[in-house]
Structure 1
Amino acid sequence: MRSAHTVEQVRAAEAALLAELPEGALMQRAAAGLAYAVIDLLGSAYGRRVRLLVGSGDNGGDALYAGALLARRGAAVDAVLLAERVHEAGLVAFRAAGGRLVCPTTRSGASSGTRREGRRPEVVVDGIVGIGGRPGLRPDAVEALAACAGVPVVAVDVPSGVDVDTGELDGPHVEAAVTVTFGTHKVAHLVDPASRACGAVHLVDIGLDLPEAPVEALQAADVARLIPRPDPDAHKYTRGVVGIRAGSAAYPGAGLLSVAGASTGLCGMVRYVGEVADRVREAHPEVVGEGRVQAWVVGSGGGERAGDALAAARQDGVPLVVDADALAHVDGPLGVPAILTPHAGELAAMTGADRAAIEAAPLEHARRAAERYDAVVLLKGRHTLVATPAGRVRVTTTGLPWLATAGAGDVLGGLIGALLAAGLTPYDAASVGSWLHGAAATLASGGGPLVAGDVARWVPHVVRDLIGAGSGGWENRPL
C-alpha cells in the first residue's frame, strides 16, 4: 500500500524520531537520499552543474547538505538564497565543500559574497519551501525559477507552492521532473491537480513510525490479496451473481460494454435486464436474464428510463453501482450499500457545485459527496479517487491518457459490480475495480490508442498475472 500522510502526522512522527537521534542525523539521512536521486537523474556527479534554490526552512537545509555531498563528488554546485536566514549549519557545510552562492541574471543586484550566475545548470533542486508552506510562491522564487526555465527540477519533499494536504493549487508553483520525499508519501503526491506537478516520486525511508494514513493508493500486491478467488467447492451461485440494468435502444453499446466489464470471470454469473437483451445474448451467450443477484449495476446508457431502473434495483435490497444517467436520480442516501461513479461534470450536476471547482479540489468534493449520499464515491479522473463516508480515500494511479475513450466508464461499472457481487466491500470493490481497469488499459494500449472493449478483454490477463505469480512484475510497471 502506498500511504499518504498529512503534514501534522509527519511532523509528529519526525518529532518522535528526532528525540531518539543525534542532532542533525535525520537531515543528513534526507540529504543523502536527495543527493543520490540527483545523481541518478544526471547519470553521474563529476563535472555536472547543479543549482540549489534555498528557502528558510528545513527543505532548504536538506538542499544545502545534498549540495555539499554533490560538490564533494565533483559536481559544480551553486545556490540561490531566497531568504535572509537559511539553515546555518547546512550553509557552512555547503560552502566548505566548495559550493558557491550566485544571483540569477534576471535579478537585480547581488548581496555581499554572492556571484553573478555562471553557466546554465543541468538540474535545479527546489528547496524553496517545505511541507508547511502555503500554496503559491513569492515573486523572488518565481523569478529564480524563470532564470532556469527548461531545466529539470528535483523537488525536495513536495514541489514548492502546492497545497500538501489537499493536492490543490493556488498560484505559481514548481513543476518537478522528480520529487524526492522522506518517510512517507504526502497527499499532494497522489491527488490531482498537485500530483501532476510532482513528476516521478522517489521515497526515501528515514525511519518514521507513522499512524494509519487517510489517503492510500493500492499496489499490485494489495490488489492480488483482495481479488476474490473461488473456493475448491465453489459453484456459479456461491461465486456471486451480478445484475446489469444498462443500455437502451438509443445507447445499446452502454449495455454491451457494462456486461463486458462484468463478464471478466470475477463472479459466477451475469444477469442482464434491459432493452438490448437480444444483442447482449448474441455478444455474451453466457449472460442470463432476470433473477436473484448479489449486486446491481445501474445507469449506463439508461436514458429516460434510468430512474425506473434504479428504483427497481433498489427494491432488491442488495448493493448497487450507480453510474451515468442513474446518478441524476440520486438525491440522498439510497438505503443500501452503494457505489456512485461520477466524473466531475456528473458530480457537479448532482451537487450543484461548479465543475471547475470540483476539478480544482477533487479530494474535498469526493469526500463531501460520500458523506452527503452515505455511499462510496468513485470520482473519475486522471487519478481516480474512491472516498468513503468516513473520509478514507484511495487513489488509483494505474491507467494512461488513452483510457479517456467512450465506453470506458461502462466497462468500469460492470467490473466493479462483479467484484461487489463476489463479496468485496463497496470500498474494496471500487478501488480494486478501478486499479484493474487502469492496468488492463495499460496492457491493451501498448502505448497507443485503444477502445473500451479492449479494456474488458485484458482484465483476465491482468488478474492471471497478479494471482498466478504474486504481483506478476506489476510493482515495476509504470502505473
Structure 2
Amino acid sequence: MIRAYTGTAVRRSEAPLLAAGRGGELMQRAAYGLYAAAAASLTARRGRIYGSSVTVLAGSGNNGGDALYAAARLARRGAAATAVLTSAAAHPEALAAFRAQGGKTLALTESNAAAVSGAALAADAVLDGVLGTGGSGGLRGPARILAEALNTARLQGKAPLVVACDLPSGVDADSGRVAGTCLQADLTVTFGAVKTGLLAGPGAAAAGEIRCIDIGLGPHLGTPDAYRLQAEDLAGLLPVPTPADQKYSRGVLGVAAGSETYPGAALMAAGAALATGVGMLRYLGPATVARLINLAHPEAVCSSDAVADIHVQAWVAGPGAGKDEDQRRRARDAMASGLPAVIDADAIGVVAPGLHPAVILTPHAGELTALLRSLGEDADRAEIEADPIRYARLAAARTGATVLLKGWATLAAAPTGELYSQAEATPWLATAGSGDTLSGILGALLATDRTPDSERGPGHYARLAAAAAHLHGRAGTLAAADGPVQPSLLEPRIRAIVANLTKQSHRKFK
C-alpha cells in the first residue's frame, strides 16, 4: 500500500533532522535517488547515458540543489549537462559540484526564454527542480514559457524525458491543485514520502510514474493523509468461497438498476457483479429489463418486488434509473435499509444527509456538483476537478456516506476523512457504461465482505470502494490492449483480474 502525506507533514518531519545538522545527508540521499531513477529511465529510452544531453531546470533552495547534484552524477557518466537557473539564488554547493563535472550554466530570462525552450526540447532529458513542496501557485514568467513549450511538445509526442524532482513544478503538494501552469512529467521522483498532491486532480495527471526515495523520514511522518491500494492489498478483500459455503453464505447482491429507457445499465452492473463473484444476484426492476438480464445472465433471479420484500447482503441502486419512479423509490429504500449500498447515477439525485459510511455514493464531478448544491454548498464542476480531495471529503462529511469520486485518479473518501486514490484506469474507460460496471464490481465486494464487524470502521468502506476502482481500472487497461474499451465486454477481463489476484486462495482448496 502506498501511504501519502501532505507537503506540510513532510516538511515537519524533516525539521528534527535538519535541526540535528543532517540536511546535507538528506540532500545527498535525495539527489542519488533522483540520479539513479533518471539514469535508468534515460538508459531505457536511449540505450545509454554516455553522449546524452541533459537539461536541469534549477530553482532556488533544496529542490534545485537535488536536481543539480543528480545532474552532476549524470555528467560524470558522460552526459552533456546544462543547468538553466530559474533563480539567482541557486544552491551554491550543488552548483559548484555541477560545474566541477563540466556542467554549463545559464540564467533564464524573459529575453532568452524562447531560445532556452528550444535547447531544452532538443535534450534527451530534462530534470525539473524549479519548485518544491514549499512552492505555491503555478509557474510564472520565463519558467512558465519554458514549461508551456515542453507541455506542447508532449502533446505532439516530441518532448524529451521529463523527470520531476519531488513533484512537478506548479503542483500543490497538499491537494494536487495547479493554479496556472505546471510542467508535465514522465516520471516523478519524490523524497521521503509520496505527497498527497501526486495522487489527485491535476497533480496526478502531471506526475506520470511515481517513485519514492526513502531518505529516513519514516519515524517522523505520523499518520498518512491518503492511501493507494496495490495489487497485493486486494487479495484479502476479494470474494473467495470456502468448502463450507453455499450460495447464500457467499453473498447475495440486490440490483435495482435500469429502466425501459436505459436497460443496458442494469445488464452491465449485473454482469460485472457476477464476474467479480457473488453467490446470488437478485434484480428488481421493469419486466422488460428483467427479460434482457435473464437472456444474458440466466442465473440472476428477477422480480418487480420492493426492497423490503427480499433478503440480500448489499444493494446497487441507480444506474440507468432515469425518470423511473419505482427505481428511484427502490434507491431511497436501499439507502434506508441499513445495509451496504452503492448509490450511482440517477439515484444520487435523491441523496439526503444522515446516511452511514456503508452507503457509497459514486458520482463523477458533474453529479457531485449537483449533489453539493442540493446540500447548500457552493461548487462548480471546474472547481471540483481542480481540487477533488476537498470536495470528495466535503460531500462525505455532509452526507455521512462514503464518496467514490470518479476521475483521472478516482478518490474514495470516508465521512471521517480517510482517503484513498486509485489510478490504474486507462482513459479508454471514459465511456458510457463504464460507471455501471464499476457499480457492479463494488456491489459484489460489499455483498461478499467477510470482515468482522469490529473491523468495519468508516475507512473500511472507503478501502472497499478503492479496491473496486482498482479492479475496474485494471480490467479496463487489460481490455484496452485490444483497442477501444466497450464496457459491456469487460466481464471476462474482470473475471481474469479477480482470478489472478486470488490464485493463491484457489490453490488452497484444490
TM-score by length of 1: 0.91
The corresponding residue for 1:286 is 299
Q: Which deviations, in whole Å up to 9, do the C-alpha atoms of 1:140-170 show, x marking residues without a partner?
A: 3224546766443221111111111101111
Per the alignment, in what secondary structure is the counterpart of residue 444 of structure 1? helix
Aligned partners of 1:345 and 1:355 also within 8 Å: yes
Aligned partners of 2:2 and 2:229 also within 8 Å: yes
Tell me the distance in 2 between the aligned counterparts of 1:434 and 1:457.
17
Tell me the distance in 2 between the aligned counterparts of 1:349 and 1:292.
32
The corresponding residue for 2:492 is 457
Deviation at 1:103, TM superposition (A): 4.0
Per the alignment, in what secondary structure is the counterpart of residue 47 of structure 1? coil
Q: Which deviations, in whole Å up to 9, do the C-alpha atoms of 1:319-358 show, x marking residues without a partner?
A: 2111111111112223573000111111111112211211
Aligned partners of 2:82 and 2:104 also within 8 Å: yes
The corresponding residue for 1:434 is 469
Among 115, 124, 127, which residue is 2:126 paired with? 124
The corresponding residue for 1:477 is none
Deviation at 1:231, TM superposition (A): 3.1
Q: Which deviations, in whole Å up to 9, do the C-alpha atoms of 1:170-212 show, x marking residues without a partner?
A: 1122122221111221112211211211222222222321333
Aligned partners of 1:2 and 1:217 also within 8 Å: yes
Q: Which deviations, in whole Å up to 9, do the C-alpha atoms of 1:117-136 show, x marking residues without a partner?
A: 89943222111111110021
Per the alignment, in what secondary structure is the counterpart of residue 34 of structure 1? helix
Deviation at 1:220, TM superposition (A): 0.2
The corresponding residue for 1:259 is 270
Tell me the distance in 2 between the aligned counterparts of 1:348 and 1:119.
39
The corresponding residue for 1:411 is 437
Tell me the distance in 2 between the aligned counterparts of 1:147 and 1:261.
43
Tell me the distance in 1 between the aligned counterparts of 2:269 and 2:122.
54
Distance of aligned partners of 1:134 and 1:23 in 2 relative to their CA distance in 1, 3 Å threshold: closer
Tell me the distance in 2 between the aligned counterparts of 1:142 and 1:93.
27
Gapped regions of structure 1 (runs ≥ 5) = 110-116, 473-479
The corresponding residue for 1:341 is 362
Summarize the alignment of residues 294-443 of structure 1 with structure 2, pairs less than 5 Å apart. 294-304=313-323, 305=325, 306-334=327-355, 337-352=358-373, 353-423=379-449, 425-443=460-478
Distance of aligned partners of 1:65 and 1:364 in 2 relative to their CA distance in 1, 3 Å threshold: same
Instruction: Out of 422-431 and 117-126, give the one that drifted further.
Output: 117-126
Aligned partners of 2:357 and 2:461 also within 8 Å: no
Distance of aligned partners of 1:336 and 1:57 in 2 relative to their CA distance in 1, 3 Å threshold: closer
Q: Within the alignment, does 1:95 sit opposite 2:99 as a pair?
A: yes
Summarize the alignment of residues 184-203 of structure 1 with structure 2, pairs less than 5 Å apart. 184-203=193-212
Tell me the distance in 1 between the aligned counterparts of 2:198 and 2:121.
32
Deviation at 1:230, TM superposition (A): 2.2
The corresponding residue for 2:35 is 35
The corresponding residue for 1:113 is none
Distance of aligned partners of 1:201 and 1:29 in 2 relative to their CA distance in 1, 3 Å threshold: same
Deviation at 1:447, TM superposition (A): 4.6
Per the alignment, in what secondary structure is the counterpart of residue 42 of structure 1? helix
Tell me the distance in 1 between the aligned counterparts of 2:370 and 2:463.
26
Instruction: Out of 93-102 and 51-60, give the one that drifted further.
Output: 93-102
The corresponding residue for 2:170 is 161
Summarize the alignment of residues 8-27 of structure 1 with structure 2, pairs less than 5 Å apart. 8-18=8-18, 22=22, 24-27=24-27
Distance of aligned partners of 1:17 and 1:269 in 2 relative to their CA distance in 1, 3 Å threshold: farther
Q: Within the alignment, does 1:466 sit opposite 2:501 as a pair?
A: yes
The corresponding residue for 1:86 is 90
Distance of aligned partners of 1:20 and 1:252 in 2 relative to their CA distance in 1, 3 Å threshold: same
Letter in 2 for 1:358: I
Deviation at 1:461, TM superposition (A): 0.9
RMSD (Å) for aligned C-alpha atoms: 2.5
Deviation at 1:21, TM superposition (A): 7.3
Per the alignment, in what secondary structure is the counterpart of residue 264 of structure 1? helix
Deviation at 1:398, TM superposition (A): 1.2
Tell me the distance in 2 between the aligned counterparts of 1:427 and 1:118.
43
The corresponding residue for 1:4 is 4
Deviation at 1:254, TM superposition (A): 1.4
The corresponding residue for 1:114 is none
Q: Which deviations, in whole Å up to 9, do the C-alpha atoms of 1:249-307 show, x marking residues without a partner?
A: 11111111121122125221111111022222222111114520111111111122232
Deviation at 1:20, TM superposition (A): 6.4
Letter in 1 for 2:123: P
Q: Which deviations, in whole Å up to 9, do the C-alpha atoms of 1:49-85 show, x marking residues without a partner?
A: 2121211110111112112212222222121222222
Per the alignment, in what secondary structure is the counterpart of residue 246 of structure 2? coil
Q: Within the alignment, does 1:206 sit opposite 2:215 as a pair?
A: yes
Q: Within the alignment, does 1:107 sit opposite 2:114 as a pair?
A: no
Aligned partners of 2:6 and 2:197 also within 8 Å: no
Tell me the distance in 1 between the aligned counterparts of 2:433 and 2:334.
22
Tell me the distance in 2 between the aligned counterparts of 1:119 and 1:131.
25
Tell me the distance in 2 between the aligned counterparts of 1:16 and 1:469.
44
Summarize the alignment of residues 200-279 of structure 1 with structure 2, pairs less than 5 Å apart. 200-209=209-218, 210-275=221-286, 276-279=289-292
Aligned partners of 1:367 and 1:389 also within 8 Å: yes
Greater helix fraction, Structure 1 or Structure 2: 2
Count residues in correspondence. 466
Tell me the distance in 2 between the aligned counterparts of 1:335 and 1:40.
47
Q: Which deviations, in whole Å up to 9, do the C-alpha atoms of 1:375-434 show, x marking residues without a partner?
A: 110111121111111111111111211112221211211221111111264223211111
TM-score by length of 2: 0.85
Instruction: Out of 278-287 and 330-339, give the one that drifted further.
Output: 330-339
Tell me the distance in 1 between the aligned counterparts of 2:72 and 2:91.
13
Aligned partners of 1:441 and 1:454 also within 8 Å: no
Tell me the distance in 2 between the aligned counterparts of 1:187 and 1:79.
29
Per the alignment, in what secondary structure is the counterpart of residue 13 of structure 1? helix
Aligned partners of 1:61 and 1:86 also within 8 Å: yes
Per the alignment, in what secondary structure is the counterpart of residue 467 of structure 2? helix
Question: Alignment identity in percent?
Answer: 46
Tell me the distance in 2 between the aligned counterparts of 1:447 and 1:55.
43
Per the alignment, in what secondary structure is the counterpart of residue 271 of structure 2? helix
Aligned partners of 2:183 and 2:206 also within 8 Å: yes
